[in-house]
Amino acid sequence: MKQFISLCIFLIFPLSALTSTDLSDDYEAGEELYDLACANCHGKNLRNPGTASFNLKMFPKNDKKRFISSVTSGKGFMPALGDVFDAEEIEQIWVYVSQHK
Ligand code: HEC
């Protein structure tokens, strides 16, 4: 039995080591921030609630610059959030939005 358990730990450990990279930490941090500050308008899980807000699933994944600038300075009815979040947090939200499946 003891051997069985250590075998399980041996098999599971490399998997968890693979999934807990820095990037997935950023993804999770970004998800929390998103749920807190963006989901009201843009929808939980990026599912657009049918309001006038932008559908973030359609946001171009290669345009990080535009994302940072829109979130920092606001756009149209979207409030500027540059005073609410620091650069690192906006970066984490970008990881979440751009890698969301
Ligand atoms: C008060 C509602 C509201 C909140 C809160 C909000 N947004 Fe928006 N967002 C909007 C609306 C409305 C638009 C469409 C703006 C336009 O194009 O006129 C938009 C547009 C955007 C765009 C596209 C901008 C572009 O370049 O075209 C991005 C990216 C975005 N929001 C990200 C976010 C993120 C990330 C958060 C959370 C940190 C957030 N928004 C919070 C309402 C909101």
Tens digits of residue pLDDT in 60-88: 999 999 999 999 999 999 999 999 999 99
In percent, how much of the chain has pLDDT > 90? 69
End-to-end CA, the chain: 39
Highest average pLDDT, of 9-18, 33-42, 44-53, comes from 33-42
Task: Dihedral sign for Cα 38, 39, 43, 46, please.
Answer: positive
Q: Is 53 in the pocket of ligand 1 (CB under 6 A)?
A: yes
Q: Name the residue with the closest Cα to ligand 1, atom 43.
A: 78
Cα separation, 38 vs 48, in Å, equals 11
Kindly give, in sequence order, each residue whose CB lies less than 8 Å from that of residue 32, ignoring residues fewer than 6 positions away: none
Whole-number average pLDDT of the chain: 86
**Nearest alpha-carbon partner for 85 in 34, 46, 45, 40:** 34
| Cβ of residue 77 lying under 6 Å from some atom of ligand 1 | yes
Q: How far, in Å, is the centroid of ligand 1 from the Cα of 22?
A: 26
Looking from the CA of residue 63, the nearest atom of ligand 1 is 26
